[in-house]
């Protein structure tokens, strides 16, 4: 972002990478897939790079409103400093926080999830994915809670999967009934309470029941949880866990 | 004349006691903190019509929804007959509306009778589901004791009430056919069910016996109604009233949006603005504000209204990922605990005045930390609730109290927050490495 501004350019959209997308090795691949798509479509975008900081989502869900608001206010200062108007992110937690919780602290932006942005690019004819490597593959989609129930986005990722000429198979619990992967509400950062099963294992069972080749999702946390779940059943050879952005990037041969 | 008097006194006591109960519930709910839920009125009416009146969310489970609908419609329509009973009771007439309404009266009572039979079937099905089929969500341990009894009691009361209706109409049918009813004329009353059932059951009963059965049905009906009315505020069945206001006051925001804590905003602004006067924000006489919720009085009045509205149906708990995987958390229990504690605090305040303190609190004595830390904030419970209750917002406020007032949280979470504060990320990575992904392969 700083570089772009130095050259006197203003980007059309800011790509909010998020902490997972920046630091987690698996999630970095999703970040790269998004960037490839943006570049391919000549979207003028920027990232904050080292000026980006955690949105504060996990602190807020864990009950620490102080840390959340400190993070939020710092981020809002940076974003407003660059006069950011529109933000895309590949993390539903960042998406939810930026979109719903920043306005009350003075940060007003148009925030979209990457699946919504990509859907727009394809519908505008800027990107074609028909008949790519996923033609005829069976794909199931796991709804991230913070994209689906929390923000009512159910169709954008599904439409993208259908664009791949793939067969979209729904799990028995999907959309509003979708089962959580177990990572939300700051659970990602702690051991689960005592119980008789891990939530991600329960959810992976739903996915395996569909006999899909691929579990698609739209959240780096869900990705981790589902990947671990698949490992738990030793099914890594049979079923892949991929972000919708990766599916699109691969199908478009980027 | 004496019966009219008895009836009038009974009505007065019945309605009066109900009003008194309602005022108690109302004052309990108003112990909660202020929150504005009066914006977007047209959306609110729409939500109420769809969710409470139209029972939209029930229909994600069609069979119970249909059975419940039978009970619900029967309940609503039977109120018309109740108006007649009250009018008869106060004037000493018999079936006042019969002559006034003519054919429509026959239709109306017939309709009520058909619905009553459907309601009877539904009630029996509900009893069986609870006690014979032992549906898991209706047999969890949080329902042991009073809640389970409450549920069965009301179902049995409904069956009894329906029996009274048919005693009344059935006996009157036989009397009328013999020209001995208090109603002028002779023949059949022509009601859909009782014109068959009446002669079948009571055909051979003597005239005085028939009058007795008819009166037992009539008085039984009205006594049950007054009993029911006053039982409501102590029961999960209060939802038949509160579902309407509760859905009207629904949260209309996106479910993912957690409330902003304005008190924190003030302090954070102070911290970030070096020129601010540190004393300006906190006038000396301001009551020290508690962050989050320790007890029911720290919750909003909507949380408390939610608690009274909960039907204890357990749809929330059966969809909760934590509960499904054996964790202690049950969103239904969160609502039941909140209500139980509220009743206790409300009684205490009425007896001992505003400063009532029994040394107990919602978190700790009712809900444990282990329960609330198991929540993934997935919103499944909120989505599922047929009357738009939000257990998650209570869970979050309890967490806020533990974290911000008592610094109690799982140690990994304390570490995560420290990382955010120091590195701007929940993990121990340096902010300088944020862009490394660009040049890695
Ligand atoms: S939000 Fe929490 S309590 Fe509600 S269903 Fe999800 S995990 Fe359970
Ligand atoms: S909160 Fe809603 S879903 Fe849960 S038991 Fe109460 S009424 Fe049922």
User: What is the ipTM, given to two decimal places?
Assistant: 0.93
3-state DSSP call for residue B276?
Answer: coil
Interatomic CA distance for residues A233 and B86, integer angstroms: 67
A:140-179 residues touching chain B, CB 8 A cutoff = 145-146, 149-152, 176-177, 179
User: Burial letters for B99-110: b for 16+ Cβ neighbours within 10 Å, e otherwise?
Assistant: eeeeeebbebbb
- Torsion sign, CA atoms A160, A163, A166, A169: positive
CA distance A173 to A199: 14
Q: What is the pLDDT of residue B286?
A: 54
Give the pLDDT of residue B290. Answer: 87
A87-123 pLDDT, tens digit each: 999 999 999 999 999 999 999 999 999 999 999 999 9
**Are the beta carbons of B376 and B321 closer than 8 angstroms?**
yes
Overall average pLDDT of the A147-164 stretch: 95
Q: Would you place residue A30 in the very low, low, confident or very high pLDDT band (cuts 50, 70, 90)?
A: very high
Interface mutation target, options B326, B424, B439, chain A, most CBs of A under 10 Å: B424
**Which of B140, B255, B256, B321 to mutate for ligand 1's pocket (most ligand atoms within 8 Å of CB)?**
B321
Pick left, alpha or beta for residue A72 (phi over 0 → left; psi -120 to 50 → alpha; otherwise beta).
Answer: alpha
Q: Is A247 in contact with A137 (CB distance < 8 Å)? A: no
Q: Show the tokens assigned to A168.
A: 């979209």
Domain definitions of chain A by residue range:
2-119, 129-251
DSSP label at residue B434: T
Concatenating the DSSP letter of every residue in B153-178 gives: HHHHHHHHHHHHHHHHHHHHHHHHHT
pLDDT at residue B263 in the model: 87
Question: In the prediction, which pLDDT does B268 show?
Answer: 86
Domain A2-119 CATH class label = alpha beta
CB neighbour class for B353 (10 Å; exposed up to 12, middle 13-18, buried from 19): exposed
Q: What's phi and psi for A64, nearest 5 deg?
A: -100, 85
Q: Looking at residue A117, what is its pLDDT?
A: 97
Query: Across residues A50-79, what is the average pLDDT?
Result: 96
pLDDT at B183: 86
Alpha helices in B232-330 (DSSP H): 239-248, 262-272, 301-309, 315-319, 321-324
- The whole-chain average pLDDT of chain A stands at 94
Decide if A205 touches B, using CB distance below 8 A: no
CA-based radius of gyration for chain B:
28
Show pLDDT as tens, one digit a residue, over chain B (441 residues): 788 999 999 999 999 999 999 999 999 999 999 999 999 999 999 999 999 999 999 998 999 999 999 999 998 888 888 899 999 999 988 898 888 888 899 999 999 999 999 999 999 999 999 999 999 999 999 999 999 999 999 999 999 999 999 999 999 999 999 988 888 888 888 899 999 999 999 989 999 999 999 999 999 999 999 999 999 999 999 999 999 999 999 999 999 999 999 889 888 888 877 676 655 555 445 556 789 999 999 999 999 999 999 999 999 999 999 999 999 999 999 999 999 999 999 999 999 988 889 999 999 999 999 999 999 999 999 999 999 999 999 999 999 999 999 999 999 999 999 999 999 999 999 999 999 998 887
Which one-letter DSSP state was computed for residue B99?
A: H
Instruction: Closest CB to B264: pick one of A65, A151, A199.
Output: A65
Length of chain B: 441
Give the model's confidence band at A129: pLDDT under 50 very low, under 70 low, under 90 confident, else very high.
confident
Average pLDDT over residues A123-129: 91
Question: A3 at the B interface (CB within 8 A)?
Answer: no
Encoded tokens for A134: 């996923």
- Are A72 and A55 in contact by the 8 Å Cβ rule? The answer is yes
Strands A110-113 and A167-168: unpaired
CATH 3.30.250 correct for A129-251: no
Q: Which pLDDT belongs to residue B350?
A: 93
Cβ of B321 less than 6 Å from ligand 1: yes
Residue A231, CA distances (Å) to A174, A194, A211, A235, A241 in order: 22, 21, 16, 6, 11
Q: Find chain B residues with C-beta within 8 A of A180's C-beta.
A: 321, 376, 378, 380
In tens, the pLDDT along A182-192 reads 999 999 999 99
What are the tokens at A18?
Answer: 């998020």
Please report how many Cα atoms fall inside a 13 Å half-sphere around the Cα of residue B355, on the Cβ side: 0
Task: Name the β-bridge partners of B233.
Answer: none
Is the confidence at residue A203, as pLDDT, over 90? yes
B266, burial (CB in 10 Å: exposed 0-12, middle 13-18, buried 19+) = middle
In sequence order, what are the beta bridge partners of A242?
A: A216
Q: Rounded to the nearest whole angstrom, what is the distance from the C-alpha of residue A193 to the centroid of ligand 1? A: 13
Chain B positions in Cβ-Cβ contact with residue A21 (cut-off 8 Å): 437
SS3 A141: strand
Question: Do A2-119 and A129-251 show the same overall fold?
Answer: yes
| pTM of this prediction exceeds 0.90 | yes
On the question of pLDDT at A159 being above 60, the answer is yes
pLDDT of residue B22: 95
Other CB atoms within a 10 A radius of the CB of residue B69 amount to: 16
Q: Please work out, in degrees rounded to the nearest 5, the angle formed at the alpha carbon of residue A152 by the alpha carbons of A151 and A157.
A: 105
CA distances from A184 to A54, A220, B382 (A): 15, 11, 15
Exposed (0-12), middle (13-18) or buried (19+): which is B249, by Cβ within 10 Å?
A: buried
Neighbours of A215 (CB within 10 A): 26
């Amino acid at each position: 972002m700083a570089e772009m501004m130095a050259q006197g350019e203003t980007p059309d959209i800011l790509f909010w990478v998020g902490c997972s997308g920046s630091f987690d090795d698996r999630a970095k691949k999703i970040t790269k897939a998004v960037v490839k798509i943006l570049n391919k479509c000549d979207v003028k975008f920027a990232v904050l790079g080292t000026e980006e900081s955690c949105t504060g989502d996990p602190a807020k869900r864990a009950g620490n409103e102080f840390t959340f608001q400190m993070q939020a206010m710092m981020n809002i200062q940076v974003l407003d400093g660059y006069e950011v108007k529109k933000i895309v992110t590949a993390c539903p937690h960042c998406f939810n926080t930026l979109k719903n919780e920043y306005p009350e602290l003075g940060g007003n932006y148009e925030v979209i999830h990457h699946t919504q942005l990509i859907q727009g690019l394809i519908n505008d004819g800027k990107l074609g994915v028909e008949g790519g490597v996923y033609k005829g593959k069976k794909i199931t989609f796991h709804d991230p809670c913070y994209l689906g129930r929390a923000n009512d986005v159910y169709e954008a990722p599904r439409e993208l999967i259908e664009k791949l000429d793939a067969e979209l198979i729904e799990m028995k619990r999907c959309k509003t009934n979708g089962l959580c992967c177990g990572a939300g509400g700051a659970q990602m950062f702690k051991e689960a309470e005592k119980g008789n099963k891990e939530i991600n294992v329960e959810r992976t069972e739903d996915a395996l029941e569909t006999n899909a080749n691929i579990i698609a999702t739209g959240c780096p946390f869900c990705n981790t949880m589902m990947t671990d779940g698949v490992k738990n059943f030793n099914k890594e050879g049979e079923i892949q866990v991929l972000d919708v952005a990766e599916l699109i990037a691969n199908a478009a041969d980027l | 004349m004496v019966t009219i008097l008895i009836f009038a006194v009974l009505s007065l006591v019945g309605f009066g006691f109900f009003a008194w109960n309602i005022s108690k519930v109302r004052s309990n709910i108003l112990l909660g903190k202020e929150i504005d839920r009066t914006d977007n009125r047209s959306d609110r009416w729409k939500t109420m019509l769809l969710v409470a009146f139209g029972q939209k969310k029930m229909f994600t489970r069609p069979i119970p929804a249909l059975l419940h609908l039978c009970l619900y419609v029967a309940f609503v329509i039977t109120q018309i007959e109740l108006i007649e009973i009250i009018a008869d009771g106060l004037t000493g007439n018999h079936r006042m509306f019969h002559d006034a309404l003519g054919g429509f009266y026959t239709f109306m009572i017939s309709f009520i009778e058909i619905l009553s039979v459907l309601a009877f079937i539904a009630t029996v099905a509900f009893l069986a589901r609870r006690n014979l089929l032992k549906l898991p969500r209706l047999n969890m341990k949080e329902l042991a004791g009073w809640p389970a009894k409450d549920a069965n009691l009301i179902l049995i009361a409904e069956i009894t009430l329906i029996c009274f209706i048919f005693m009344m109409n059935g006996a009157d049918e036989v009397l009328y056919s013999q020209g001995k009813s208090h109603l002028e004329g002779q023949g059949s009353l022509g009601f859909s069910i009782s014109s068959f059932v009446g002669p079948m059951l009571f055909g051979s009963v003597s005239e005085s016996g028939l009058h007795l059965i008819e009166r037992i049905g009539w008085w039984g009906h009205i006594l049950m109604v007054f009993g029911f009315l006053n039982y409501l505020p102590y029961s999960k069945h209060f939802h038949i009233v509160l579902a309407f206001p509760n859905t009207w006051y629904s949260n209309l925001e996106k479910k993912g949006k957690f409330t902003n804590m304005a008190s924190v905003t003030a302090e954070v602004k102070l911290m970030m603005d070096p020129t601010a006067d540190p004393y300006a924000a906190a006038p000396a006489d301001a009551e020290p504000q508690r962050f989050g919720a320790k007890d029911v009085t720290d919750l909003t009045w909507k949380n408390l209204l939610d608690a009274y509205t909960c039907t204890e149906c357990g749809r929330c708990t059966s969809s909760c990922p934590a509960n499904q995987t054996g964790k202690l958390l049950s969103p239904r229990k969160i609502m039941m605990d909140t209500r139980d504690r509220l009743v206790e605090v409300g009684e205490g305040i009425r007896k001992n005045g505003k400063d009532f303190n029994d040394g107990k609190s919602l978190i700790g004595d009712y809900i444990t930390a282990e329960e609330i830390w198991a929540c993934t904030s997935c919103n499944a419970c909120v989505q599922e609730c047929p009357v738009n209750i939000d257990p998650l917002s209570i869970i979050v406020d309890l967490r806020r109290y533990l974290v911000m007032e008592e610094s109690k949280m799982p140690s990994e979470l304390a570490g995560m927050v420290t990382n955010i504060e120091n590195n701007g990320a929940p993990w121990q990575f340096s902010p300088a490495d944020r862009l490394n992904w660009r040049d890695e392969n």
